[in-house]
Amino acid sequence: MEEPLSEFDRRKFDSRPDETFYDSPRFVTHADEGFLDRLRTLYESELSPGDRVFDAMSSWVSHLPDTAFDGVVGHGLNADELDRNDRLDEWFVQDLNVNQSLPLSDGSFDAVLCALSVQYLQYPAAVFREFARVLADDGVLVVSFTNRMFPTKAVRAWRAASMDERAELVTEYVASTGAFESVRVVRDRPQTDPFYAVVARAR
C-alpha cells in the first residue's frame, strides 16, 4: 500500500532523531482531565475484561479504565516513562519513524491503542499495517488525539490540517491497510480540549 504522506507532508521542523527529543522523561499529561475522562470512557466501551492490550506510543500513564486485562504491553521512546507506568506488564522502546516493524506476534492483541501521539508518525501506513497485523480477528484499534502537540515534532500534514481534517487523515491511515471493516470517528468537547478518536474493527 502507498504511504498517505509525501516527503513534503512528513517533514518536521525538528529533524533530529526522535530519540534525542525524547531523551529526558516528561511526567505530564498531554490533554486536560475532560479529554482523559472521555478517553477512559471510550476504552471502557470498546475493551472487555481479559483483553490483551497493546498501548502504542505510550508514556508514564495509559489512561486505561479499572478493567482486568490479560496483559498490557507498552511501547514508547523513553524508558523512564514506560517504567513508571503501572498498567504495563511489559514494555519496549522503539522509534517507529526509523523502524516500523513491531517485535510482536501476529494476532496477539485484542486491542491496539494510540493516544495523543499519531501526529508524530512519518510513515503512518507502515505503522498502521503493523497495528493491523498484531490484532486478532475483530480486534479494535483506537487512535485518539486533540489539538495539542509538540509542533516541532509533528509532521507538516498534521500541523497544516484542521481537527476534522486530522480525523480524515487518521481514517486514511486506517484505510491504507485494507485490514479494517468498520471505521468511525468519535467527536466530543468534554472540557477545553476537543476530543477526537478514530475507532476501527479488524476484519
Query: Is residue 9 in some structural domain?
Result: no
What are 42-88's pLDDT values in tens digits?
999 999 999 999 999 999 999 999 999 999 999 999 999 999 999 99
Query: Is residue 102 in some structural domain?
Result: yes
Query: Is residue 47 in some structural domain?
Result: yes
Do the beta carbons of residue 153 and residue 95 sit within 8 Å?
no
Q: How confident is the model at residue 25 (pLDDT cuts 50, 70, 90)?
A: confident
Average pLDDT, rounded, for the chain: 94
Inform me whether the pLDDT recorded for 27 exceeds 60: no
* CA 80 vs CA 55, 85, 120: distances in Å: 16, 9, 20
Question: Greater confidence, 171 or 22?
Answer: 171
Query: Is residue 3 in some structural domain?
Result: no
Q: What is the pLDDT of residue 90?
A: 98
Query: Is residue 5 in some structural domain?
Result: no
Q: How confident is the model at residue 1 (pLDDT cuts 50, 70, 90)?
A: low
Question: Greater confidence, 4 or 158?
Answer: 158
- Our count of domains for the chain comes to 1
Q: What is the pLDDT of residue 2?
A: 73
Do the beta carbons of residue 47 and residue 107 sit within 8 Å?
no
**Domain CATH for 23:** 3.40.50.150
Say what the pTM is: 0.94
What are 100-152's pLDDT values in tens digits?
999 999 999 999 999 999 999 999 999 999 999 999 999 999 999 999 998 99
φ and ψ at 129, to 5 degrees?
-65, -35
Task: List the domain range (segments joined by +) for residue 183.
Answer: 18-202
Query: Is residue 1 in some structural domain?
Result: no
* Rounded Cα–Cα distance for residues 133 and 116 (Å): 22
Query: Is residue 109 in some structural domain?
Result: yes
* Rounded Cα–Cα distance for residues 83 and 187 (Å): 32
* DSSP output for 60-96: S-----S---S-EEEEES-HHHHHH-TT-SEEEE--T
* Secondary structure class of 57 (helix, strand, coil): coil
- What single DSSP character describes residue 100? -
Burial of residue 32 (number of CB atoms within 10 Å: 0-12, 13-18, 19+): middle
Query: Is residue 144 in some structural domain?
Result: yes
Q: What is the pLDDT of residue 17?
A: 76
Inform me whether the pLDDT recorded for 172 exceeds 60: yes
C-alpha cell at 166: 486530522
- Tell me, letter by letter, the H, E, C secondary structure of 106-164: CCCEEEEEEECCHHHCCCHHHHHHHHHHHEEEEEEEEEEECCCCCCCCCCHHHHCCCHH
C-alpha cell at 9: 507532508
